[in-house]
Amino acid sequence: MQRYFSTVAKNYLTSCKILSRRNDIRSISRQCDVFINHRGVDTKRNIAGLLYDHFTRIGLHPFLDSKNMKPGDKLFGEIEEGIRSCKVGIAVFSPRYCESYFCLHELALMVENKKKIIPIFVDVRPSQLRVEYSHNCPDKELQRFNWALGEAKYTVGLTFDSINGDWSELLRKASNAVVDNLIDGGGRKMPDN
């Protein structure tokens, strides 16, 4: 019971911190504050959806394909615009993330556009993430994906165990990381290669 009240108190303090910084956040462009990159079959109905709802509740403008796109939208066009306009990207890595061309393409776009990326490793360790060779994917694309994956998995992020993890703690940590990066400018600080 004490752990529950401790978590509630931390969440309340986080909400107060976010609300006190709301004026700073409002000065940021409203197109897209945070782009949520994820493997839909693994995380759309839990972590990705919860992050989207949480960010919306605290006054941010997140991009999540299933929430922001409507029938008739051009898949790559809308997603690429969301990535270009976002200030921060969240990459939700899951055990089957690297099996998705779309996930890796979005990740590569975030890295190429020098977005600040906050990795969340869900039920997977960074060392387990690998781009597998596919005869359907050109070598140049595979190299691009490997480079982007390397950039992201060697970035300090959050880890989460979906069975035993504290969901509210994950949301608190993720929102703190996003808000801090939005206020600090959100631009990825990495050398040009």
User: Which residues are part of the catalytic machinery?
Assistant: 106
CA–CA distance, 114 with 124 (Å, rounded to integer): 25
- What torsion do the CA atoms of 181, 175, 111, 153 make, to the nearest 10 degrees? 120
Look at residues 119, 87, 114 and name the one whose alpha carbon lies nearest to residue 103. 119
Look at residues 165, 175, 186 and name the one whose alpha carbon lies nearest to residue 15. 175
Q: 23-38 burial string, b = 16+ CB within 10 Å, else e?
A: eebeeeeeebbbbbbb
> Which two structure tokens, joined as six digits, stand for 169?
């703690």
